[in-house]
Chains A and B, each alone.
Chain A
Amino acid sequence: DAGVTQSPTHLIKTRGQQVTLRCSPISGHKSVSWYQQVLGQGPQFIFQYYEKEERGRGNFPDRFSARQFPNYSSELNVNALLLGDSALYLCASSSGTADQPQHFGDGTRLSIL
């Protein structure tokens, strides 16, 4: 079975631009979470969606937004990009039932010039 897939794998943007990252969860998984991982740090939680509803939000500014579609895929949008937004953006999916582990994709490497 396919794992979590993310696109694109790499992206270069300039300050002030907007970006959309995409994620397809493991088949049968209804929950998708987004994380930001800066070099040398652990992933930091941005959003979680379950059945198209936002279930949780981390400590990120309103420039970050997300949504989940009826097929459980998800998009993460970041507006007004800053240099500090350069990071690996990871998507994780889980079944959504209590306390099941999250399984991660290989991420989108976003570089801001």
Chain B
Amino acid sequence: EDQVTQSPEALRLQEGESSSLNCSYTVSGLRGLFWYRQDPGKGPEFLFTLYSAGEEKEKERLKATLTKKESFLHITAPKPEDSATYLCAVRSGGGADGLTFGKGTHLIIQP
């Protein structure tokens, strides 16, 4: 059974204070690791897909990296508008394309 564990559950940072969110996973045959951002009352918004260990993706102040056991979402010099819940999900081998999500990291950036 696929499992995704995210840490920390919650993180409070000052504006401009860089940090990293962790996503540890166990999966039989990784077909993709996905990062999403979710704002209150909204659906998850797609950020990145990573497919193989060593891969990195960047978008504005966010950078996602992948190893064989975990992924990191690095946030550089965050702004208050980066406050959200960040979700990590995996898609494993097999016919179905359903994603297995972690519980998310609730990030608050204080001005």
Contact = CB atoms under 8 A, between A and B. Distances in A.
B44 A104 contact: yes
A55 B98 CA distance: 9
A28 interface: no
A45 B89 CA distance: 11
Interface in A79-113: 90, 92, 94, 99, 101-107
Interface residues of B, number: 26
Given A43-B101, A58-B98, A99 B31 contact: yes
B42 interface: yes
Contact of A44 (B31, B96, B101): B101
A42 interface: yes
A48 B103 contact: no
A44 B98 CA distance: 9
Contacts, number: 68
B44 A90 contact: yes
Contacts of B89: 42-43
Contacts of A42: 4, 87, 89, 101-104
B43 A101 contact: no
B98 A99 contact: no
Contact of A45 (B36, B95, B99): B99
B41 A55 contact: no
Q: Max chain A CB contacts within 10 Å: which of B36, B97, B101, B103?
A: B97
Given A42-B87, A99-B31, A105 B103 contact: no
Interface string B8-20: 0000000000000
Contacts of A101: 32, 34, 46, 49
A43 B103 contact: no
10 contacts: A42-B87, A43-B44, A48-B97, A55-B95, A56-B95, A56-B96, A92-B43, A99-B51, A102-B99, A107-B42
Given A33-B98, A55-B95, 17 more contacts: A4-B43, A33-B99, A42-B87, A42-B102, A43-B99, A44-B101, A45-B96, A45-B98, A55-B96, A90-B44, A99-B31, A99-B51, A101-B46, A101-B49, A102-B97, A104-B43, A104-B45
